[in-house]
A and B are shown apart, each in its own frame.
Chain A
Amino acid sequence: MARSTMDAAPDHRVGRPPRARRRRTPFQLVAQVLGELLVTAGVVLLLFVGWEIWWTNIDSGIKQEQALEEFFSDAPPVTAPDAAGAPSAEDFGDPAVLPQQDLVGTFGVVYIPRFGENYSRPVSAGVGPDVLDNLGLGHYPGSGAPGEVGNFALAGHRQTHGQVLDQIHTLVPGDRVYVQTRDGYYTYVFRNTEIVLPDRADVIAPVPTQPDAQPVDRILTMTSCNPRFGAQERIIAYSVLESWRPAGAGPPPEIAENVARAAGQG
Protein backbone atom coordinates (compact mmCIF):
# COMPACT_ATOMS: atom_id res chain seq x y z
CA MET A 1 0.00 0.00 0.00
CA ALA A 2 1.59 3.19 -1.24
CA ARG A 3 1.52 6.24 0.93
CA SER A 4 2.53 9.66 -0.15
CA THR A 5 5.07 11.46 2.00
CA MET A 6 2.42 14.14 2.30
CA ASP A 7 0.26 11.69 4.16
CA ALA A 8 -0.17 12.81 7.70
CA ALA A 9 -1.00 9.40 9.04
CA PRO A 10 1.80 7.78 11.02
CA ASP A 11 3.49 4.85 9.35
CA HIS A 12 2.11 1.78 11.09
CA ARG A 13 4.74 -0.44 9.58
CA VAL A 14 7.45 1.01 11.73
CA GLY A 15 8.14 -1.26 14.62
CA ARG A 16 5.81 -3.96 13.35
CA PRO A 17 7.48 -7.41 13.30
CA PRO A 18 8.37 -8.33 9.72
CA ARG A 19 6.62 -11.21 7.91
CA ALA A 20 3.79 -11.48 10.38
CA ARG A 21 1.57 -14.35 9.16
CA ARG A 22 -1.78 -13.31 7.88
CA ARG A 23 -4.53 -15.43 9.44
CA ARG A 24 -6.72 -17.11 6.89
CA THR A 25 -10.37 -17.87 7.23
CA PRO A 26 -11.32 -21.56 6.69
CA PHE A 27 -12.85 -20.60 3.38
CA GLN A 28 -9.61 -19.08 2.13
CA LEU A 29 -7.70 -22.17 3.25
CA VAL A 30 -10.05 -24.52 1.40
CA ALA A 31 -9.98 -22.31 -1.69
CA GLN A 32 -6.20 -22.24 -1.69
CA VAL A 33 -5.80 -26.02 -1.34
CA LEU A 34 -8.44 -26.60 -4.01
CA GLY A 35 -6.73 -24.14 -6.32
CA GLU A 36 -3.36 -25.78 -5.85
CA LEU A 37 -4.88 -29.21 -6.53
CA LEU A 38 -6.51 -27.94 -9.72
CA VAL A 39 -3.25 -26.40 -10.92
CA THR A 40 -1.55 -29.72 -10.15
CA ALA A 41 -4.19 -31.60 -12.14
CA GLY A 42 -3.56 -29.31 -15.10
CA VAL A 43 0.19 -29.85 -14.93
CA VAL A 44 -0.31 -33.64 -14.65
CA LEU A 45 -2.58 -33.62 -17.72
CA LEU A 46 0.03 -31.69 -19.70
CA LEU A 47 2.66 -34.18 -18.53
CA PHE A 48 0.44 -37.03 -19.72
CA VAL A 49 0.11 -35.46 -23.17
CA GLY A 50 3.89 -35.05 -23.32
CA TRP A 51 4.38 -38.62 -22.15
CA GLU A 52 1.91 -40.03 -24.67
CA ILE A 53 3.09 -38.08 -27.70
CA TRP A 54 6.83 -38.02 -27.04
CA TRP A 55 8.03 -40.47 -24.43
CA THR A 56 6.06 -43.53 -25.61
CA ASN A 57 7.90 -43.32 -28.94
CA ILE A 58 11.29 -43.41 -27.25
CA ASP A 59 10.19 -46.22 -24.94
CA SER A 60 8.74 -48.26 -27.81
CA GLY A 61 11.85 -47.64 -29.93
CA ILE A 62 14.05 -49.22 -27.25
CA LYS A 63 11.74 -52.24 -26.91
CA GLN A 64 11.55 -52.69 -30.70
CA GLU A 65 15.35 -52.71 -30.88
CA GLN A 66 15.39 -55.49 -28.28
CA ALA A 67 12.70 -57.43 -30.18
CA LEU A 68 14.75 -57.13 -33.40
CA GLU A 69 17.85 -58.41 -31.60
CA GLU A 70 15.84 -61.33 -30.27
CA PHE A 71 14.50 -62.12 -33.74
CA PHE A 72 17.93 -62.03 -35.37
CA SER A 73 19.51 -64.13 -32.64
CA ASP A 74 17.09 -66.96 -33.58
CA ALA A 75 16.90 -66.37 -37.35
CA PRO A 76 19.43 -67.88 -39.72
CA PRO A 77 22.32 -65.50 -40.43
CA VAL A 78 21.65 -62.98 -43.17
CA THR A 79 23.47 -63.96 -46.36
CA ALA A 80 24.61 -61.23 -48.71
CA PRO A 81 22.64 -61.58 -51.96
CA ASP A 82 25.69 -61.41 -54.23
CA ALA A 83 27.49 -64.03 -52.16
CA ALA A 84 24.59 -66.41 -52.67
CA GLY A 85 24.75 -65.65 -56.39
CA ALA A 86 21.00 -65.65 -56.89
CA PRO A 87 19.69 -63.01 -59.27
CA SER A 88 16.97 -60.91 -57.69
CA ALA A 89 14.39 -61.95 -60.28
CA GLU A 90 14.84 -65.69 -59.82
CA ASP A 91 11.64 -67.60 -59.21
CA PHE A 92 11.79 -69.71 -56.07
CA GLY A 93 8.36 -71.24 -56.51
CA ASP A 94 5.68 -71.24 -53.86
CA PRO A 95 6.74 -69.49 -50.66
CA ALA A 96 7.46 -71.37 -47.47
CA VAL A 97 4.81 -70.57 -44.87
CA LEU A 98 5.32 -70.53 -41.13
CA PRO A 99 2.85 -72.87 -39.38
CA GLN A 100 0.33 -71.08 -37.15
CA GLN A 101 1.83 -72.50 -33.96
CA ASP A 102 5.15 -70.82 -34.83
CA LEU A 103 3.52 -67.39 -35.02
CA VAL A 104 4.50 -66.54 -31.44
CA GLY A 105 6.63 -63.76 -30.00
CA THR A 106 8.50 -61.67 -32.54
CA PHE A 107 8.44 -63.83 -35.67
CA GLY A 108 9.21 -61.38 -38.44
CA VAL A 109 10.50 -58.01 -39.59
CA VAL A 110 8.82 -55.58 -41.98
CA TYR A 111 10.79 -53.27 -44.29
CA ILE A 112 9.01 -50.48 -46.14
CA PRO A 113 11.44 -48.31 -48.14
CA ARG A 114 8.70 -45.69 -48.68
CA PHE A 115 8.74 -45.03 -44.92
CA GLY A 116 12.50 -44.42 -44.98
CA GLU A 117 15.52 -46.48 -45.98
CA ASN A 118 16.14 -47.43 -42.36
CA TYR A 119 12.56 -48.52 -41.73
CA SER A 120 12.67 -51.96 -40.13
CA ARG A 121 10.03 -52.93 -37.58
CA PRO A 122 9.53 -56.21 -35.72
CA VAL A 123 6.29 -58.13 -36.15
CA SER A 124 4.96 -59.82 -33.03
CA ALA A 125 1.98 -62.06 -32.40
CA GLY A 126 -1.12 -60.39 -30.96
CA VAL A 127 -2.81 -57.01 -31.24
CA GLY A 128 -3.35 -56.27 -27.55
CA PRO A 129 -1.89 -53.16 -25.91
CA ASP A 130 1.00 -55.27 -24.57
CA VAL A 131 2.18 -55.83 -28.16
CA LEU A 132 1.08 -52.68 -30.00
CA ASP A 133 2.09 -50.27 -27.24
CA ASN A 134 5.55 -51.77 -26.87
CA LEU A 135 6.66 -53.79 -29.87
CA GLY A 136 5.33 -51.92 -32.87
CA LEU A 137 3.51 -54.08 -35.41
CA GLY A 138 1.14 -56.78 -34.17
CA HIS A 139 -0.22 -59.78 -36.08
CA TYR A 140 -3.95 -60.45 -35.80
CA PRO A 141 -4.26 -63.89 -34.17
CA GLY A 142 -5.82 -66.37 -36.58
CA SER A 143 -5.03 -64.36 -39.70
CA GLY A 144 -2.64 -65.81 -42.26
CA ALA A 145 1.12 -66.21 -42.01
CA PRO A 146 3.52 -64.28 -44.29
CA GLY A 147 3.28 -65.67 -47.82
CA GLU A 148 0.21 -67.77 -47.07
CA VAL A 149 -2.79 -67.85 -49.41
CA GLY A 150 -5.20 -65.64 -47.50
CA ASN A 151 -4.60 -62.53 -45.45
CA PHE A 152 -1.50 -61.76 -43.37
CA ALA A 153 -3.02 -58.98 -41.24
CA LEU A 154 -1.04 -56.49 -39.14
CA ALA A 155 -1.96 -53.59 -36.87
CA GLY A 156 0.23 -50.68 -35.79
CA HIS A 157 -0.08 -47.26 -34.18
CA ARG A 158 -0.37 -44.21 -36.42
CA GLN A 159 0.70 -41.92 -33.57
CA THR A 160 2.40 -42.56 -30.20
CA HIS A 161 3.95 -45.83 -28.98
CA GLY A 162 6.46 -45.97 -31.82
CA GLN A 163 3.96 -44.74 -34.46
CA VAL A 164 5.11 -47.53 -36.77
CA LEU A 165 2.47 -46.77 -39.43
CA ASP A 166 2.59 -42.98 -39.22
CA GLN A 167 3.40 -42.70 -42.94
CA ILE A 168 0.81 -45.24 -44.12
CA HIS A 169 -1.03 -42.63 -46.21
CA THR A 170 2.13 -41.92 -48.25
CA LEU A 171 2.24 -45.39 -49.83
CA VAL A 172 1.94 -45.29 -53.61
CA PRO A 173 0.55 -48.25 -55.62
CA GLY A 174 3.54 -50.33 -56.67
CA ASP A 175 5.53 -49.63 -53.48
CA ARG A 176 7.21 -52.72 -52.08
CA VAL A 177 6.55 -53.99 -48.57
CA TYR A 178 9.10 -56.60 -47.51
CA VAL A 179 8.49 -59.14 -44.77
CA GLN A 180 11.31 -61.25 -43.37
CA THR A 181 10.78 -64.42 -41.34
CA ARG A 182 13.22 -67.15 -40.39
CA ASP A 183 12.21 -68.89 -43.67
CA GLY A 184 12.98 -66.05 -46.03
CA TYR A 185 11.86 -62.78 -47.56
CA TYR A 186 8.39 -62.03 -48.92
CA THR A 187 7.94 -59.12 -51.30
CA TYR A 188 4.48 -57.60 -51.32
CA VAL A 189 3.33 -54.88 -53.70
CA PHE A 190 1.13 -52.20 -52.23
CA ARG A 191 -2.21 -52.02 -54.02
CA ASN A 192 -4.55 -49.53 -52.32
CA THR A 193 -5.73 -48.02 -49.08
CA GLU A 194 -9.24 -47.90 -47.79
CA ILE A 195 -10.72 -45.87 -44.94
CA VAL A 196 -13.40 -47.67 -42.95
CA LEU A 197 -15.22 -47.48 -39.63
CA PRO A 198 -13.59 -49.25 -36.67
CA ASP A 199 -16.10 -52.12 -36.61
CA ARG A 200 -15.24 -53.40 -40.10
CA ALA A 201 -13.53 -56.61 -39.00
CA ASP A 202 -14.08 -58.10 -42.47
CA VAL A 203 -11.06 -56.20 -43.86
CA ILE A 204 -8.83 -58.82 -42.25
CA ALA A 205 -10.84 -61.75 -43.66
CA PRO A 206 -8.84 -64.13 -45.94
CA VAL A 207 -10.41 -62.29 -48.86
CA PRO A 208 -10.70 -58.73 -47.49
CA THR A 209 -14.31 -57.49 -47.17
CA GLN A 210 -15.66 -60.84 -48.48
CA PRO A 211 -15.71 -63.15 -45.45
CA ASP A 212 -17.34 -66.06 -47.33
CA ALA A 213 -15.09 -66.09 -50.40
CA GLN A 214 -12.41 -68.74 -50.93
CA PRO A 215 -8.96 -67.07 -50.93
CA VAL A 216 -6.67 -67.39 -53.95
CA ASP A 217 -4.37 -64.38 -53.42
CA ARG A 218 -1.65 -63.88 -50.84
CA ILE A 219 -2.63 -60.58 -49.22
CA LEU A 220 -0.91 -58.39 -46.63
CA THR A 221 -3.26 -56.05 -44.78
CA MET A 222 -2.07 -53.30 -42.45
CA THR A 223 -4.53 -51.44 -40.23
CA SER A 224 -3.98 -48.20 -38.31
CA CYS A 225 -5.95 -45.29 -36.89
CA ASN A 226 -7.37 -42.57 -39.04
CA PRO A 227 -7.18 -39.61 -38.99
CA ARG A 228 -3.73 -39.05 -37.49
CA PHE A 229 -4.11 -38.15 -33.79
CA GLY A 230 -7.63 -39.57 -33.91
CA ALA A 231 -9.42 -42.90 -34.01
CA GLN A 232 -12.83 -42.22 -35.51
CA GLU A 233 -11.89 -44.36 -38.51
CA ARG A 234 -9.31 -46.94 -39.57
CA ILE A 235 -6.99 -46.73 -42.54
CA ILE A 236 -6.40 -50.07 -44.24
CA ALA A 237 -3.51 -50.74 -46.64
CA TYR A 238 -3.66 -53.79 -48.90
CA SER A 239 -0.67 -55.37 -50.61
CA VAL A 240 -0.35 -58.51 -52.72
CA LEU A 241 2.55 -60.98 -52.70
CA GLU A 242 4.84 -60.55 -55.67
CA SER A 243 7.72 -62.92 -54.97
CA TRP A 244 9.67 -64.56 -52.22
CA ARG A 245 13.27 -65.61 -51.57
CA PRO A 246 14.37 -68.32 -49.17
CA ALA A 247 16.66 -67.15 -46.36
CA GLY A 248 19.60 -68.93 -48.01
CA ALA A 249 19.28 -66.81 -51.16
CA GLY A 250 19.77 -63.62 -49.16
CA PRO A 251 17.52 -60.58 -48.94
CA PRO A 252 16.22 -58.78 -52.04
CA PRO A 253 18.98 -56.39 -53.19
CA GLU A 254 16.71 -53.37 -52.64
CA ILE A 255 16.68 -53.92 -48.88
CA ALA A 256 19.98 -55.78 -48.44
CA GLU A 257 21.64 -52.85 -46.66
CA ASN A 258 18.68 -52.30 -44.39
CA VAL A 259 18.50 -55.99 -43.46
CA ALA A 260 22.20 -56.03 -42.66
CA ARG A 261 21.76 -52.92 -40.52
CA ALA A 262 18.77 -54.36 -38.68
CA ALA A 263 20.68 -57.59 -38.10
CA GLY A 264 23.53 -55.58 -36.60
CA GLN A 265 25.95 -56.58 -39.35
CA GLY A 266 25.98 -53.36 -41.34
Chain B
Amino acid sequence: MYGWIFRALPGPLWMRVILSVILVLAAVMVLMVFVFPWVSQFNPLTDSTIGTP
Protein backbone atom coordinates (compact mmCIF):
# COMPACT_ATOMS: atom_id res chain seq x y z
CA MET B 1 0.00 0.00 0.00
CA TYR B 2 2.64 2.51 1.07
CA GLY B 3 4.90 1.20 -1.71
CA TRP B 4 2.12 1.86 -4.18
CA ILE B 5 1.59 5.40 -2.82
CA PHE B 6 5.32 6.09 -3.02
CA ARG B 7 5.47 4.89 -6.63
CA ALA B 8 2.35 6.92 -7.50
CA LEU B 9 3.96 10.18 -6.33
CA PRO B 10 5.24 12.34 -9.19
CA GLY B 11 8.76 13.56 -9.75
CA PRO B 12 12.25 12.22 -9.17
CA LEU B 13 13.26 10.28 -6.09
CA TRP B 14 14.20 13.31 -3.92
CA MET B 15 10.88 14.95 -4.66
CA ARG B 16 8.94 11.82 -3.79
CA VAL B 17 10.86 11.55 -0.49
CA ILE B 18 9.98 15.17 0.38
CA LEU B 19 6.35 14.65 -0.64
CA SER B 20 6.03 11.54 1.51
CA VAL B 21 7.51 13.35 4.52
CA ILE B 22 4.94 16.13 3.98
CA LEU B 23 2.13 13.56 3.73
CA VAL B 24 3.22 11.87 6.96
CA LEU B 25 3.43 15.21 8.80
CA ALA B 26 -0.01 16.20 7.49
CA ALA B 27 -1.49 12.93 8.74
CA VAL B 28 0.10 13.47 12.19
CA MET B 29 -1.27 17.04 12.29
CA VAL B 30 -4.81 15.88 11.48
CA LEU B 31 -4.55 13.23 14.19
CA MET B 32 -3.27 15.62 16.86
CA VAL B 33 -5.56 18.54 16.11
CA PHE B 34 -8.83 16.79 15.33
CA VAL B 35 -8.83 13.05 16.05
CA PHE B 36 -6.99 12.75 19.38
CA PRO B 37 -8.92 15.53 21.20
CA TRP B 38 -12.13 13.87 20.11
CA VAL B 39 -11.01 10.39 21.20
CA SER B 40 -9.61 11.77 24.45
CA GLN B 41 -13.01 12.68 25.85
CA PHE B 42 -13.88 8.98 25.91
CA ASN B 43 -10.69 8.11 27.78
CA PRO B 44 -11.85 7.00 31.24
CA LEU B 45 -8.31 7.11 32.62
CA THR B 46 -8.23 10.90 32.84
CA ASP B 47 -11.57 11.33 34.59
CA SER B 48 -10.92 13.41 37.71
CA THR B 49 -14.41 14.52 38.71
CA ILE B 50 -16.59 12.96 41.33
CA GLY B 51 -20.18 11.74 40.91
CA THR B 52 -22.06 12.67 37.78
CA PRO B 53 -22.03 16.47 37.59
B1–A198 CB distance below 8 A:
no
In Å, the complex CA distance between A140 and B36 comes to: 26
In Å, the complex CA distance between A200 and B50 comes to: 6
A47 lies within 8 A of chain B by Cβ: yes
Chain B residues near A158 (CB-CB < 8 A): 48
Q: A52-B40, A56-B40 are in contact. Are A47 and B31 (CB under 8 A)?
A: yes
CB distance from B31 to the nearest CB of A (A): 6
B40–A224 CB distance below 8 A:
no
B28, B32, B37, B51: the one within 8 Å of A199 (CB): B51
Which positions in B face A, CB cutoff 8 Å? Answer: 1-2, 28, 31-32, 36-37, 39-41, 43-53
Which positions in A face B, CB cutoff 8 Å? Answer: 32-33, 36-37, 44, 47-48, 51-52, 55-56, 127, 129, 132-133, 138, 140-141, 155-161, 165, 196, 198-201, 203-204, 223-225, 229-231, 234, 236
Q: List 24 A-B contacts (CB under 8 A).
A: A36-B2, A47-B31, A47-B32, A48-B39, A51-B32, A52-B36, A52-B40, A52-B43, A56-B40, A127-B49, A127-B53, A133-B40, A133-B46, A138-B49, A160-B46, A200-B50, A201-B52, A201-B53, A223-B50, A224-B48, A225-B45, A225-B46, A225-B48, A231-B45
